[in-house]
Structure 1
Amino acid sequence: MTHTFPEHFFWGAATSAPQSEGGQYAGGRSASTWDKWFELEPERFNANIGPEVTSDVYNRYREDAKLMSDINLNSYRTSISWNRLLPDGKTLNEEAVAFYRDYFQSLRDEGVEPIMNLFHFDMPWWLMEKGGWESRESIDHFAFYAKTAFEQFGDLITYWTTFNEPIVHVTCGYLGEYHWPKVNSLKRAIQVAHHTNLAHAAAVVEYRKLGLDGQIGNILNLSPVYPRSQSEGDLKAKKDAEELHVKSFLEPTVKGKYSDYLIDLLREHDLLPVVEEGDLELIEKGKVDFLGVNYYQPIRVREVEEHEKTYPVNSLGHFSRHYDWPEKRMNKYRGWEIYPEGIYDIAMMIKDEYGNLPFYISENGMGVAEEERFMNEDGMIEDDYRIEFIHDHLEFVQKAIAEGANCFGYHLWTFVDCWSWLNSYKNRYGFYRMDLETGDRSIKKSGKWIKKVIEEKKLLDKNVVK
């Protein structure tokens, strides 16, 4: 197997507007759910740190673009803040347009291709007050926002995506308390998922209408699902988990329809969403040019015993339960399994089941707490654990490419340590460390390592950088 990467491979990093921009209410920006939630319950956020400043990209984007170029990154994925571009959902904010145009041009001037996402969990508060994604009104509002973004920045952005990990705002906001509005209703969650799929498709339609010279995709967290055993019950749990956690967005995004299996599964348990006339025709129009694939860990499942089920069904735990694989390797700081082979299995699934659609790894990374423990006498974080993590995953990216997978890039989460929702800065992820007091950036050992990998266009030994 060759150890080189394709000539035009996208090497980069990823973040989002709410986790990196800061400038909370600067330049006319209005509140998102995260801004309001922090105002309401600051104690829920690690160390009481909210989204006011985050990585201060609002003021440091030119510096960051130069730092990306310094380590040979040629692409960068972030998002636009809906509440900054359209503070009331209707009126274009010219200050935001000027900010974003200069931001994107600064990236381009440093040889960094901006890949732009439209929604990264940051629902505008004015729309949340109308019901958020539970309201059908959200579909038209999102389509208008998407159209506005395409019109304002279509000359600077070639690669667009609609959502980041749409399953997450469904499960964390409507089947848990990790995103606003913190409700727990499977029926409502499924309705939110349907409206999100419709919003995605409506944005794709708007993009196609404009005839721009570019491509549009969707970013999905595609975790491979592995059963405890080959028993009938465990295999049924695997199939159900795949359909609910992975393919509920993958099938509409790539094939333009929900799978028959998912429809039958939801119908069997009286969980079908309200579907209006024209919905399925709209979803059929939402097929994408490419996928962003976020991969962190696999899903391991087992059969649900009858005594564990509840009726009426109001939990995904009715269909499958987590299986604690005894051979697992863990990132203890995040509580996630480290399983590099999973990235290969996902690539092969896209190749074999989804027409070998072009995709890139849009997120992969390792969050570690108290990284200052690994600071050397020169003040650099020696994050050998992150180098090992990236190296081992890139090995399987290479294997997939060698076997015909249409993978065109790899992005680490993230470029510089960013704010992470309720965890704030508990775990660090970046190629660059951010000083929480000053905001200053300093390169980590992993940044030096990836610079050499990109320079030589091949996977280098984990210890090549001393």
Structure 2
Amino acid sequence: MTKYSLKFPNDFILGAASSAWQTEGWSGKKDGQDSYIDAWYKNDRKVWHNGYGPAVATDFYNRYVEDIDLMKVVGLTHYRSSINWSRFMLDYEQGIVDEEYANYVEQVIDTMLANGIEPMFCLEHYELPAYLLDKYGGWSSLEVVDMFVNYAREVFRRYGSKVKHWFTFNEPIVVQTRVFLDAIRYPYEQDTNKWMVWNHAKNLATAKIVKAYREGGYEGKIGVVLNPEVTYPRSSALHDRRAAEIYDLFYNRVFLDPAIKGEYPEQLLTLLKGNGIDFEPSAEELAIIKNNTVDFIGANLYYPHRVKAPEAEWPRDVPFHPKKYFSVFELPGREMNFSRGWEIDPAIVYDMAMRIKNDYGNIEWILSENGMGIENEVQFKDENGQIQDDYRIDFISRHLYHLLRAIEDGANCKGYMLWSFTDNVSPMNAFKNRYGLVEIDLEDNRNRRVKKSGYWYKELSESRCLIFDQDSEYR
């Protein structure tokens, strides 16, 4: 069969991603350093699959040297993680740093660089200090925004000369959407007004940190990792297209537009006001957002989102929720990852790339997360104990095919970051669905074993070329 290939650009990143709380564990963590995630786990452990959570995670804190060696084995050029704000400080209000944790971060950075792997860091990956949530209401308070900016300044001062890719947040919309819109995560409070207050606070924090980074004169880039859901209407009918447009406003453009264009969409502001959402940012805040847009973005892309016109009128006695304007549509015959319950449609990568090119000035970006979580992967072990995850190789290849097509068509995408390097803990699902190039064996002291996909990823990184069959479904 005839083979075809697509080459990666010379400066293209092939890396992987994770976060501090999903890997480090609690070794060395002191009293009063709980994050929002830690507090959730302590208060509601029953919702975490089999009771696993951030307490041990993958024990990266103690095993980072071993893991960085494995990063070389699987061919990573870059690794994206986070610095755990809740652990970096001993006193958030006074800005007193935990030097033990800060030294650990520096050792991780130095070890990665010594091994030819570029570190990329988020300043917050769901790691809001629980103390600030309890005392100030978290991102409801502008004091918390200022504390976050001060923390960022200290991080840049210490590591800004070594780390060249920074992100303010990972998926800044997620926590408040799960808590205040859908009320499916601790502390289970439905409050759409608070949801928008948190959105704005994070947009403002991003702009203030961008300003601080540039004032520091650091030789790197500062951005934000978003999770834009590539949204399709059920049909070409006006009512379905309007449902998709409104979904996009509430879940995508609420962060895309301020980060890149420096302003909120007028349509979104009109809808919020018309539904009684008390959102009135100051002129000063809006000016800060306007004047401090990001250098680049990360886009986490896993699955498409499909909507249709709402099936029923929104109940008058129920507080406003964006679901007033849409209903979820499940495409008949769709390809599924049944472990995760997500549709698989690799073409979302191309469509998102073209949107960034056409609607957002072709800003530089990376595909900062993409991957396939599979339950009970041990069933795919061969006689030597290696997981034969051909499904993951296929998933990555198909998405990379569409990404490379988009680059050929002018998309300004600079890299692909797989989720994830090793299996790790996820909110509620814990270790249920495995995403890694490297297995974490919970039955054997969390020992690591490279999966088939890990060695394949190494070959991909070295060849800088995606090879596929003429008749493959990529085309």
Change (3 A) 1:402 1:6: same
* SS of alignment partner, residue 449 of structure 2: strand
Q: Which residue of 2 aligns with 1:162?
A: 168
Contact 2:300 2:368 in 1 (8 A): yes
Contact 2:36 2:128 in 1 (8 A): yes
Q: Which residue of 1 aligns with 2:124?
A: 119
Does 2:455 correspond to 1:455? no
How many angstroms apart in 1 are the aligned matches of 2:30 and 2:189?
Answer: 32
How many angstroms apart in 2 are the aligned matches of 1:309 and 1:451?
Answer: 54
How many angstroms apart in 1 are the aligned matches of 2:336 and 2:415?
Answer: 25
Residue identity opposite 1:458 in structure 2: C
TM-score normalised by length of structure 1: 0.96
What's the CA shift string for 1:213-262, capped at 9, x where partnerless? Answer: 11101101122110011111111101101111111000000011111121
Contact 2:82 2:121 in 1 (8 A): yes
Query: 1:140: how far off?
Result: 0.6
Q: Which residue of 2 aligns with 1:292?
A: 298
Residue identity opposite 1:288 in structure 2: V
Residue identity opposite 2:77 in structure 1: N
Q: Which residue of 2 aligns with 1:418?
A: 424
Does 2:64 correspond to 1:57? no
Q: Which residue of 2 aligns with 1:6?
A: 9
How many angstroms apart in 2 are the aligned matches of 1:37 and 1:398?
Answer: 40
Pairing partner for 2:441 from 435, 443, 452: 435
Q: Which residue of 1 aligns with 2:358?
A: 352
Q: For structure 1, list consecutive stretches of 5 or more residues without a partner in the other structure.
A: none
Query: 1:270: how far off?
Result: 2.1
* SS of alignment partner, residue 3 of structure 1: strand
Does 2:406 correspond to 1:406? no
Pairing partner for 2:103 from 83, 86, 98: 98
Query: 1:29: how far off?
Result: 7.5
* SS of alignment partner, residue 216 of structure 1: strand
Query: 1:71: how far off?
Result: 2.0
Pairing partner for 2:281 from 271, 275, 282: 275
Residue identity opposite 2:464 in structure 1: K
Contact 1:19 1:51 in 2 (8 A): yes
Residue identity opposite 1:238 in structure 2: A
How many angstroms apart in 2 are the aligned matches of 1:426 and 1:167?
Answer: 24
What's the CA shift string for 1:90-139, capped at 9, x where partnerless? Answer: 21111122101110111111111101101111210110112011222221
Does 2:132 correspond to 1:132? no
How many angstroms apart in 1 are the aligned matches of 2:404 and 2:278?
Answer: 40
Residue identity opposite 1:263 in structure 2: L
Change (3 A) 1:404 1:167: same
Does 2:24 correspond to 1:21? yes
Q: Which residue of 2 aligns with 1:226?
A: 232
Query: 1:327: how far off?
Result: 2.8
* SS of alignment partner, residue 206 of structure 2: helix
Contact 1:417 1:434 in 2 (8 A): yes
Residue identity opposite 2:465 in structure 1: K
What's the CA shift string for 1:53-103, capped at 9, x where partnerless? Answer: 101110111111111112221000000000111132121111122101110
Does 2:78 correspond to 1:75? yes
Residue identity opposite 1:117 in structure 2: C
Contact 1:28 1:87 in 2 (8 A): no
How many angstroms apart in 2 are the aligned matches of 1:101 and 1:384?
Answer: 36
Pairing partner for 1:108 from 110, 113, 123: 113
What's the CA shift string for 1:333-377, capped at 9, x where partnerless? Answer: 111110100010000000011111111110000111100000000
How many angstroms apart in 2 are the aligned matches of 1:174 and 1:138?
Answer: 18
Q: How does 1:163-312 map to 2 (within 5 A)?
A: 163-308=169-314, 310=316
Question: Is the deviation greater in 254-263 or in 271-280?
Answer: 271-280
Query: 1:12: how far off?
Result: 0.6
User: How many pairs are equivalent?
Assistant: 463
Change (3 A) 1:433 1:273: same
Contact 1:46 1:426 in 2 (8 A): yes
Contact 1:79 1:116 in 2 (8 A): yes
Contact 1:291 1:360 in 2 (8 A): yes
TM-score normalised by length of structure 2: 0.94
Change (3 A) 1:280 1:312: farther
How many angstroms apart in 2 are the aligned matches of 1:414 and 1:88?
Answer: 32
Question: Is the deviation greater in 278-287 or in 116-125?
Answer: 278-287
Contact 1:28 1:93 in 2 (8 A): no
Pairing partner for 1:48 from 51, 64, 89: 51
Q: Which residue of 2 aligns with 1:31?
A: 34
Query: 1:272: how far off?
Result: 4.3
Change (3 A) 1:430 1:440: same
What's the CA shift string for 1:381-409, capped at 9, x where partnerless? Answer: 00111111101100100110010101110
Residue identity opposite 2:467 in structure 1: L
Query: 1:461: how far off?
Result: 4.0
Pairing partner for 2:388 from 378, 382, 395: 382
Residue identity opposite 1:445 in structure 2: K
